[in-house]
A and B are shown apart, each in its own frame.
Chain A
Amino acid sequence: MASDAITVPVGQIEARPWVDELHQWLTTVDHKRLGILYILSSLLFLVVGGVEALIIRIQLMHSHNNFVSPEVFNRMFTMHGTTMIFFVAMPILFGFANYLVPLMIGARDMAFPRLNAFSFWLSFLGALLLYFSFLGGSGLYGAGNAPDVGWWSYAPLGARAFSPGHSSDYWTLALLVSGFGSIGTAINIIATILCLRCPGMKINRMPLLVWMNLVMAGMVLIAITPLSAAQIMLLIDRYLGGHFFDTQAGGSAVLWMHFFWIFGHPEVYVLIIPCFAFMSEIIPVFSRKPIFGYPVMVAATICIAFVSMSVWAHHMFTIGMNSYANSFFTLTTMVVGIPTGIKIFNWIGTMWGGRIQFKTAMLFSIAFLFQFLIAGLTGIMMAASPFDWQLSLSYFVVAHFHYVIVGGILFALFAAFYYWYPKMTGRMLSERFGQWHFWLFLVGFHLTFDVMHIPGLLGMPRRIYTYEPGRGWDTLNLIISIGAFIQAIAILVFVANLIISYFKGARAGNDPWDAWTLEWSTSSPPPAYNFATVPVVASRRPLWDLKHPEDPDSRYE
Chain B
Amino acid sequence: MKSSLCCSWRIALLIFWSASSLWAFGPDGSSVHGTNIFAPASTPAKSIADLSVFVLVITGIIFLVVFALLIYSVVKFRAKGGDGGREPAQVYGSTQIELAWTITPILIVVVLFLATARVIHAIQDAPEPAGAVHVIAIGHQYWWEFRYPKLGIVTANELHIPVSGPDHPTPTFVQLLSVDTDHSFWVPELAGKMDLIPNHPNRMWMDPQRMGIFLGQCAQYCGAQHAKMLLRVSVDDSTDFAAWVRTQQKPADEDAGAIAGRRVFESNACMNCHAVGGTPADGRFGPDLTHFMSRATLAAGAAENTHDNLRLWIRNPSAIKPGALMPAMKLSDADLDAVVSYMETLN
Chain A residues engaging chain B, CB cutoff 8 angstroms = 69-71, 74, 148, 150, 154-157, 162, 247-248, 250-254, 287-290, 292-296, 318-320, 322-323, 326-327, 330-331, 334-335, 337-338, 341-342, 344-346, 348-349, 351-358, 366-367, 369-371, 373-374, 377-378, 380-381, 383-394, 439, 442-443, 446-447, 450-451, 453-454, 457-468, 470-472, 548, 551, 553, 556
Decide if A454 touches B13 in the complex (CB within 8 Å).
yes
Which of A154, A355, A389, A454 has the most chain B CB atoms inside 10 A of its CB? A389
Q: Which of B6, B24, B92 contacts A290 (CB 8 A)?
A: B92
Take A320-B200, A457-B14, A464-B227 as given contacts and tell me if A386 and B34 are in contact as well, using a CB distance cutoff of 8 Å.
no
Contact with B181, one of A156, A319, A355 (Cβ below 8 angstroms):
A156
Chain B residue, CB-CB nearest to A161: B180
Q: B3–A371 contact, CB under 8 A?
A: yes
Residues in chain B near residue A377, CB distance under 8 A: 59, 62-63
Q: Which of A353, A381, A389 contacts B88 (CB 8 A)?
A: A353
Question: In the assembly, what is the distance between CA of A338 and CA of B105, in Å?
Answer: 6
Whether the pair A355, B195 counts as a contact (CB closer than 8 A) is no
Interface: B10 (CB within 8 A): yes
Cβ-defined contact, B36 with A341, below 8 A: no
Q: Is the CB of A467 within 8 A of B63?
A: no
C-alpha spacing A262/B3, complex, angstroms: 34
Is B74 within 8 A of A351, CB to CB?
Answer: yes
Which residues of A have CB within 8 Å of B191?
Answer: 389
A348 and B70 in contact, given A70-B225, A390-B37 (Cβ under 8 angstroms): yes
Interface size on B, residues (CB 8 A): 101
Chain A residues with CB under 8 Å of B230's CB are: 468
Q: Is B242 an interface residue (CB 8 A)?
A: no
* B51, B52, B59, B226: the one within 8 Å of A464 (CB): B226
Closest 8 interchain pairs by CB? A389-B192, A459-B35, A464-B227, A320-B202, A247-B198, A293-B93, A446-B6, A377-B59
Do A70 and B227 contact each other (CB < 8 Å), given the known contacts A377-B59, A393-B220, A459-B36?
Answer: yes
List CB contacts (< 8 Å) of B147-187 with chain A.
176, 180-182, 184, 186
Contacts A353-B89, A393-B193, A466-B228 given; 19 further ones with Cβ under 8 A? Answer: A70-B227, A74-B224, A154-B181, A247-B198, A248-B198, A288-B79, A288-B88, A293-B94, A294-B92, A337-B109, A351-B73, A356-B78, A384-B115, A390-B188, A439-B2, A451-B13, A457-B14, A461-B217, A461-B219
**Contact between chains at A374 and B63 (CB < 8 Å):** yes
Against A, the Cβ 8 Å flags (1 = close, 0 = not) of B253-292 are 0000000000000000000000000000000000000000
Query: Does B243 sit at the interface, judged by CB under 8 A?
Result: no
* Contact A390–B88 (Cβ < 8 Å): no
Whether B212 is near chain A, meaning CB under 8 Å from some CB there, is: no
Complex CA distance for A377 and B116, rounded to whole angstroms:
15
- With CB as the reference atom, state the residue of chain B lying closest to A373: B66
